[in-house]
Structure 1
Amino acid sequence: MSLINPADSIEEQNAKLQTIAAALMKRVEYDTAQSGAAYAQFERAALLEKRVRERTLELERTLDLLHDSNAQLARANQETEAARRNLADAIETVSEGFALFDGADVLVMCNSRFCRYFRDTVPQLDPGLSFAEYVAQVSRSAHLALPKGETAESWTAKRIQRHKDRHVMFNVQLSQDRWVQVSEHRTATGGTVVLQTDVTDLIRLERQERTRLKDKQARMIRATLDHLNQGVCIFDEDARLVGWNQKLGALLSLPARRLQLGVTFIGLLDQLDDEFRFVRGLDRDGFRLWALAAGPRPPVSFEVRDGAQSSLQIFGRGMPDGGFVISVTDVTAEREAAQKLSDLNEILEQRVMERTLELEDALSAAERANASKSRFVAAASHDLLQPLSAAKLFLSSLADRLPDDRDRQVLGKAESALSSAEQLIDALLDISKLESDGLSFDIRPVALREIFAPLRDEMEVMADRKGLTLRVLDSSLTVETDPAYLRRVVQNLMANAIRYTDTGRVVVGARRSAGSARIEVWDTGPGIAEADQGTIFEEFKRLDTTASSNDGLGLGLAIVERACARLGHPLGLWSEPGRGACFMVNVPIVDRAAPRRTQSARRVYATGLAHAGLIVLLVENDPQLRRAITILVESWGVNVLEAEDAVTARELLRDLDLAPDALLLDYRLGSGLTGLELYDEIARDLGTLPCALVTADRAPELRQACADRGLELLPKPLDRHKLARFLETSARAAVESVR
């Protein structure tokens, strides 16, 4: 019902509406309390209706989602069932037995071929069966062939233990000679897949192949035994004969009917008659006890003699299976050869003894001749020096009376010739003294500046004449030596440097080097070629063949070498052609307050060694040091065998066929072999010998290695007194060994 007539005009409708609105406003103004409650209920009803409508919409949407989820779940169930059927079909098509256990070791599914080899366990193979129960049922199966000495319980325990591994594969033997290979593999979820494969055909083929190989190996062993030139017999763990060759019967003189398979060792040993005598090593009873011993047998070797001619070497060795093998070798020819060698050795020893006596007589004669020569040179030098000195005085007095310059020049040449003869006699006298066994030294501490200062004043005149610069460096070191001979050594080296240097300078000094003072004489002369460095120390040897006698007699370096060798001062040389040369002498450093060494101590060493008759093997690759040591040691009456390397030393010992009384070995031989290694080789051949190792290496490892072997360690520069004490000890050891 409408409050306004639609047929009225617009103006009339507006008027009516204004009247109605005024009435309503008036009613609202006069009835506010009653209309407020109703309006609030109206609002709550409207809000409730809105919420109900919203919840209804939400329920409708939820119901739609539930219907969709049910539909998806139904499809998933269908797909899962289809996948299970497909998996079951796929597993069923596998030709091997297949089973799947979950992470709790519970059977999930298996195919019809699983455990078909254990038919009595198939009825219990249902999902939900535990792995332990499955193993227990298999262990009790009548179709399982348990190993010898194995029970069902022990087999089950081992099977469960192997199940703990991530991957397992093993073979199981069934009745009627059938075999099944069982393999287990862990899945990503912790489950286990078990596969059972029939490997009977493979096992049988392998067995046949093994049998064929054994037959082939047996034929090869038989052919090999028959081919050997030795008699061989093999016994099993019960000492019964299981194999032999034809050579055995020939060597032991046994007929073929006695060598039969299965014959006992005792029976075979008793068949050997009394002609077989055990001559070296085991006897008959010892051999019997060795063969019948229980447990491992050590190797044995002995000899028997068949009659008076034939000798047999018998060797026995145990085998891992408890048996043993015996080989018989005919050594008759070797024993006859050894006897001939023994007879020949006796003849050679007799000849060597005769030759040694002849050499000793010749050596004694040479020593007497050398001593006579030394005495003659000393006496002749003394007798000749007096008239020469007188002649020089007469010439000097005559020079003042000659007015002619040409006559004075001739007189000067004559005086120079006499001076050269005097120098030659002095040098020969020095060499004679140095080669004499009776020479004694005044060894005491001496300051080097006491030697350097006078020589500087003396040699400056010679250097100035040639226009050379001579520089002698002051030194505060104190050394232990004979001051007179050390002065002569340095003097000869300085004179030699000035003589052969045309331009430049000569420098003399000393530097500390590992407990010794190394005196060095440098020059800027022409230098010395390497090929000539070993010959310049020979008597009357001069590299400048055009030089006159006034330029030197070629004895200075020979005196230097002999003096250094007798004093125990190592002598060295460095030189390059065109760059000059440097001569070096090492002298031990001592404190100024060091006790003075007397001549009597020196004579103890010389006298104690002079009659020792020692033979010393010296191996030193440095020819200059080797020559210096040889001269020094031979001056003490010791025989020296020289070698420059290990190969030469071994060849020398082999050719001479003798064992030296002592060894002097350089540590670094420069041939790939050290002195320690050379000593080990000599000790293996000749036994333990007194040995001193000469080295500049002061490493604690080397010192410990020498101590372990009982060797003397002589550090470089070589101390002559330590060397003498070592030789004294070796001499006493040699005397004790003879007693």
Structure 2
Amino acid sequence: MDYNKNNELDQANLRVIVASCALVYITVLGFLPGHSLQDYLPVIYYIVSFILLSIGLRQAIARWPGHYPWRRVLGIVHDYTGTCFGLVLGGEAALPLYAVMVWVNLGNGMRFGTRYLIIATVLALTALLVVYQLNPYWQANPFMVLMLLTTSTVIPIYAHMLLERTRKASELAMAATREKSRFLAQASHDLRQPIHSIGLFTACLREAPLGDQERRLVDSIDRSLLNVSQLFRSILDLYTLDNGRVQPKCETFALGDFLADLLRQNAEAARWAGVEMRLRSCRHWTRADRGILATMVQNVLSNSFKYAAHRPLLVAVRRHGDGLAIVVYDQGRGIADEHQGLVFEEFYRVRQVRDKDVEGVGLGLSIVKRLGRLMGLQVRLRSRLGRGTAVSLQGLPRLAAQKPALGVEQQAVQNAMLGGLRVCLVEDDHNVLRATSALLQRWGCEVEAHSSPMGLSSQCEVIVADYDLGQEATGVDCIESLRQQRGWEVPALIMTGHDLERIQAVVQGRNIAILSKPVRPAQLRAALRGMRGGVV
């Protein structure tokens, strides 16, 4: 039952502390009226030797950590030997040292499990019998000895019962967590698919010639879908944070380009909210996890769209000490002082009568705060009623400007339209296949759509595949097979509704891009443009 690799070291540290307390106690006894320090000197000398040996044992545990049963048993014997010596020579006045026996017994059992609890109990009973045989005071008080023997038996039995209950409760909790994880993983995948396909179908409608009324209806569908998608992502973000599964993976990038791209992705949502977004240009570079930072800024922007609708919004990068801060300024109604410390709590919302139509459940800023803590960033909020709110993400490192990764010609290729791009699309969900194929065709791509990975053959320039394609193969298998047929590394993209970290581990080193469903059309278009830049 090693819940912590430092358990044995903790026990060794506590051994030194307890022995030091025992030394102080015995020394104080020697100065009390009716007692002579000379009588306690053998015990004092022994405890000093005990402390020195305990420090040596502690250093050995620190030097060679790990599970060594013989070393743990040796520690128990060491503790009981010292305690017995004090009880034998100290007589009646040394009886409080019996508490050390109880600590040794329970401490080993609680830290290392039932097996060590049994070993410590047997050795404790043996030690008490040894003291009884060697100490006349104990021999003159057999009922006291019986009480101590009973206590040394009953307490460990009760501790064992508590340990078993705790172990069973822990196993049940872990089983429930695993079941919840499986359920959420499956529910996540099943929910992502329809949201993803609806988004693509809506994008197809937007590309079609529509009247004003029909375009307004498409806008309403797309806006509702965006709200559902954001709520869904917030719940998943919260779940992955609770499980400790989010680990930052830092890279160096230009903050200006990063923020400009993020604002482009939110242009449609800003238009629906009547918000004019402005970005103050900057040439700063930083090092951070792009995905986590994008989620943080995205959540702050979403809050501004909800609570500062029809007002301008400014995004800027400021110097903050030796680092940088991303600041989002809005001109909404602001937040009262009494609410400013609470808005980062989960499900907390500052509601007013006119907020009845505002979507959300109050998770956005709490996720920003927790992601910031994970990245070592400070999240600060300044707001005045009637004057607006500023949320800043502080603590980003400021780096020297880097050379652009792409030349001017390559950048022009990436920004080109997708006309004539040959795409092999592999997707086993019929609705997603139809929606993706229709959207790609409207963008001018030549699409080869396949619902099964079996017998796949294509002369494509880009491969777009779902990861989960049933029992026969995965999207990665399809990509590898097509690349082998073509004899070169065809640019490839995986769109998945599964756990992103697991898929990233699978595709590592294979030069395969990943998009997490539900994918916004702008994300897909940008990914395809980027891959086409590698084809031409």
TM-score range, shorter chain: 0.3 to 0.5
Greater strand content: 1
Greater helix content: 2
Structure-2-length-normalised TM-score: 0.42
